[in-house]
Structure 1
Amino acid sequence: MHIQLSDKFTTSKLVRFTMSSILMMVFISIYSVVDGFFVGRYVGSNGLAAVNIVFPLVMTIGSFGFMLGTGGTAEVARAMGEKRDKAANQYFSLLTLVTVLMGIFLSLLAFIFMEPLCYFMGASDLIIDDSVTYGRICTLGSVFFMLQGFFQSFFVTAERPKMGFYLSILSGISNIFLDWLLIGVFGMGLSGAAIATVCGFMVSGLIPVFYFFSDNSSRLQFAKPGKDASMIRRSMGNGASEMVTNISRSLITVLFNVQLMQLLGEDGVAAISVMLYIEFVFTAVLIGFSIGAAPVIGYHFGARNGGELKNLHHSCLKIVGLVSVVMFIISELAASALVSIFVVNNPALIELTVQGFRVFAISFLFCGINIFASAYFTALGNGRASAMISFIRTLVLQVTMILLLPKLFGIQGIWMALPVAEALTLGLSFWYFSQQQRIFKIRPTDW
């Protein structure tokens, strides 16, 4: 049965509606880390460290597409809720154009300055050449990566979440097959890994362009873009929290790399690479749910359905809380198996990573609510609250803990940094929730 944004959502119906977005993000996260799997097995720990050095830069560029996608869906979904479908299509078209132009500019900058950027992000002389090679090839696909993140949100708004899911599967299969072919069969190493990644980006970044240009049956089509600069500013403001979250994740990875390179060398960077890969896949479930739920929240906010907003709020918190607990339990029970996916024939590195991951995984208990809170306030057009949660969570607490705790507890302090930061952020998220209770009383007649 086709589910529409205007429907009344039970908890089970919300899960069904968001499932495509969840699976889409999981598949995207899997093929985003599949390079690490093949590099770890065929190239070794130094190659794995080189990939992790560049990964923050790729994610930073992609975060601008994610910003315009999540922030823009709030504007487009609200326009749809207000029955302004023509304006919604014009907004969508203009946002797509801005994403492409921004991607071209950022890709050129990254390509030109790749070597100093890699040194800044923690590369040692031993892995600098591999890092630059992998990074320059990956930046050639940055525009497609930005479009991928951008269209993730808009497929949900167009009431076609399954299309995003199918594209993510196709992208993932392409990347995995090419990783196997180029690294495992032809022995191309990091160059092969980078080429496979770019091809995956192209699949999920280009196909939506052709779809929305066609005469499709979704709620969105490309139209002549408007010239609404204020809408672009609002979209950037609304999506700034998601961009901050993604850029901050990149900064956190850089800080981890720098700290661990000093304390443990390349093996330390390889260990945190594995932990962050696993975390990326696990939190993709929470991010995917938040992406899927956000247009529903934005639509009912635009339609002034206060009662439905209250139900959505409670259902979302129940779902996110349950998933967070399950993730933590799986992480503790299956830590050795998860680490062994990426590391083979290196018992010392496996032991180091497993011990650290069991502490690191405590963060899963808290991060789900924080991820949802940021997306929730973005959907309501409250970019300030969303940005504050993301800013304090990442650029204040996580950075502070990574810099402070190792001085107090050594290596254990590195693994403790994210759990402590997420636990402290949880209090802030619930404080903002308590301040937003008034929206549950709005009615359509309040216009």
Structure 2
Amino acid sequence: MEHFYSRKWSFFDYLRFVMPSVFSMFLISLYQIVDAFFIARYAGPLAMAAVNIILPFFCFTFGMGVMLAAGSSAIIGIELGKGQPRKALAHFSLMSGVLCLLMVMIIGLTVWWGTDTLARLLGATDALLPYCVGYLNTFIVGLGGLVLQVAVEYFMRLDGRPGGAFLTSCGAGLTNIVLDYVFIVRMGMGIEGAGIASTAGVLVAIGMGVVYFLFKSKRLRFVKPRLDVRFLLGAMVNGSSEMVSEMSAGVKTLVFNYMVLRYAGEFGVAALSIMMFIYYLLSSVHIGLSVGVAPAISFNYGKRNFQKIRQLVRTSGMTMAFASIVTFGVAIVYGGDIIAIFAKGEQDVITIGEGGMNIFAFSFLLEGVSILASGFFTAVNNGKISALISFLKSFVFTLGFVMLLPPFLGLQGIWLSVPMSEVAAVGMSVFFYLRYRRQYVCPDSSKNG
């Protein structure tokens, strides 16, 4: 029987497969925003700023998980498409063990290093240090567990169960939201309560994943693993663009925190925190589209079904264009209202945030191009180009503009650096796609005219 990935999809089939990933990524960002809402409303703007100080470390741990999960799932998907299930299962089992080991290492190193030292390194001021340490102390296990949570969802999608990945996100998100209310609002535990609630959500997702792959999996199951250094290195290289994206988010946050502190003080960082949560929430729609279609591209690339790849690329491009217009509209129309809800009457925070969001919003019109391009190259096992796209966009373009523009434009230059970097990223992404189109999308174009 023909595999679902190989069949000709209607647009409804495409949405049925991709939308659970969109909802899943959206939900992950949403329950981070719920964290932010409870912290901002019930613990104050300094606690909100502290979360943004810790965010780079969150991005680092999450990025390692995404790197290994995305890189390995693309390779395993190609192996399944080639009809090599034994090899695919061995690699799946090996990567699962590596991710468990990585989780333990992250927790151990954080405890050994010390949360106060880590908070200082991330840029915590004397006023923010108690909040940062309180959050880290209660979220250590959750930070390590992020690498397994993201892998569970990637592997479920690879197994042909995007709905399962969505339900896993729902379980984690609902746990987090309910416990946020219990610990922060009812018990008055402040930022420490947020850390405990987030950790509980991560552990629920991991537990659901373990149950699924032990008892419910369709194709992927655990077998006796065998060390394959070449596979591990290949997964790291292929997923390096995702790692670069997450790492760059952390580095950008550090740089943005420094620049905003310089131009707008600690209330400016509080406004930036709210803006970044909105930014990540809306960007998750674009990321979800890219992540959702990746397993089908990997499988069909392994099967050499380029007609199907062309269909997926066309449909993804049109869907991404529509999603970009919608997210831009939401940011422009509702961005200021969302900031006002979070700021709870702090007029300085509201004024700074509204001005920044009106500029930030234009990045949503463009960012889908580079996200889709980077995800495509990861799916066809060209991690080098995928990583190059992410690196140039995040480290060269964004950091370049954020250092160059503020001396001339002040605080507005910081906000403008994001859409300006997306303009440059669009040109770069189109160049690489056209450069490699014949290799990955239309290798038979000369025959077909």
- State the TM-score, normalizing by the size of structure 2: 0.95
Q: Whole-Å Cα distance in 1 between the matches of residues 55 and 182 of structure 2?
A: 22
Shift of 1:263: 1.9
What CA distance in whole angstroms lies between the structure 1 residues aligned with 2:161 and 2:191? 35
Partner of 2:262: 262
Pairing 1:300–2:300 present: yes
SS in 2 for 1:265: helix
> Which residue of 1 is the match for residue 187 of structure 2?
186
Paired with 1:405 and 1:307, the residues of 2 have a C-alpha distance of: 45
Is 1:67 the counterpart of 2:64? The answer is: no
Q: Give the distance between the partners of 1:205 and 1:280, measured in 2 at CA.
A: 23
| 229-238 vs 433-442, which moves further | 433-442
User: What do the CA deviations read for 1:273-332 (whole angstroms, capped 9, x no partner)?
Assistant: 011000111111111111110010001100001111111111111111111111111211
Alignment of 1:210-289 (within 5 A): 210-214=211-215, 216-289=216-289
Counterpart residue type for residue 343 of structure 1? A
Could you tell me how far 1:96 is from its partner in structure 2?
A: 0.9
Q: Is the 8 A contact 1:10 1:315 kept in 2?
A: no
Q: Does structure 1 conserve the Cα–Cα contact (< 8 Å) formed by 2:159 and 2:217?
A: no
Deviations 1:326-350 (A, max 9, x none): 1111211112222123111212321
The answer to whether the 8 A contact 2:6-2:308 is kept is no
1:344 equivalent in structure 2? 344
Gaps in structure 1 of 5+ consecutive residues: none
| Residue in structure 1 matched with residue 204 of structure 2 by the alignment | 203
Partners of 2:408 and 2:107 lie apart in 1 by 39
Please state whether the residue corresponding to 1:408 is helix, strand or coil: helix
Structure 2 residue matching 1:23: 3-state secondary structure: helix
- CA deviation digits over 1:390-438, x for unaligned, max 9? 0001111111112221112100001111111111111000001101221
Q: Distance in 2 between matches of 1:284 and 1:232?
A: 27
What displacement does 1:41 show?
0.2
With 427-436 and 2-11 compared, the bigger mean Cα shift is at 2-11
Cα deviation for residue 113 of structure 1 reads 3.8
Do structure 1's residue 84 and structure 2's residue 48 form an aligned pair?
no
| Match of residue 434 from structure 1 | 434
Q: How does 1:347-386 map to 2 (within 5 A)?
A: 347-386=347-386
Query: Residue 70 of structure 2 aligns to a residue in which SS?
Result: helix
Q: Distance in 2 between matches of 1:362 and 1:257?
A: 21
Q: Does 82-91 or 270-279 show the bigger shift?
A: 82-91
Aligned partner of residue 220 in structure 1, secondary structure: coil
3-state SS of 1:125 partner: coil
Kindly report the root-mean-square deviation, in angstroms, between the aligned alpha carbons of the 2 structures.
1.5
**1:141 correspondence with 2:142:** yes
Determine the structure 1 residue equivalent to 2:171. Answer: 170
Taking the TM superposition and a 5 Å limit, the aligned residue runs for 1:44-63 are 44-63=44-63
Residue correspondences, number:
441
Paired with 1:150 and 1:162, the residues of 2 have a C-alpha distance of 15
Deviation of 1:116 (Å): 2.9
Tell me, in whole angstroms, the C-alpha distance in 2 between the residues paired with 1:3 and 1:132: 50
Alignment of 1:101-116 (within 5 A): 101-111=101-111, 112-116=113-117
Q: CA deviation at 1:442?
A: 4.3
1:317 counterpart letter in structure 2: G
Amino acid at match of 1:116: T
For the structure 1 residues 3 and 305, does the alpha-carbon distance in structure 2 shift closer, same or farther, using more than 3 Å as the test?
closer
1:150-204 deviations in whole A, cap 9, x for unaligned?
1221111101111111111111111011111100011000110100010011111
2:343/2:349 contact within 8 Å kept: yes
AA partner of residue 338 (structure 2): L
Partner of 1:123: 124
Find the counterpart in structure 1 of residue 41 from structure 2.
41
TM-score (norm 1): 0.96
How far the C-alpha of 1:105 sits from its partner, in A, is 1.3
What displacement does 1:121 show?
2.2
Q: Quick one: which amino acid aligns to residue 35 of structure 2?
A: D
AA matched with 2:337: A
Give, in whole Å, the separation in 1 of the partners of 2:306 and 2:401.
39
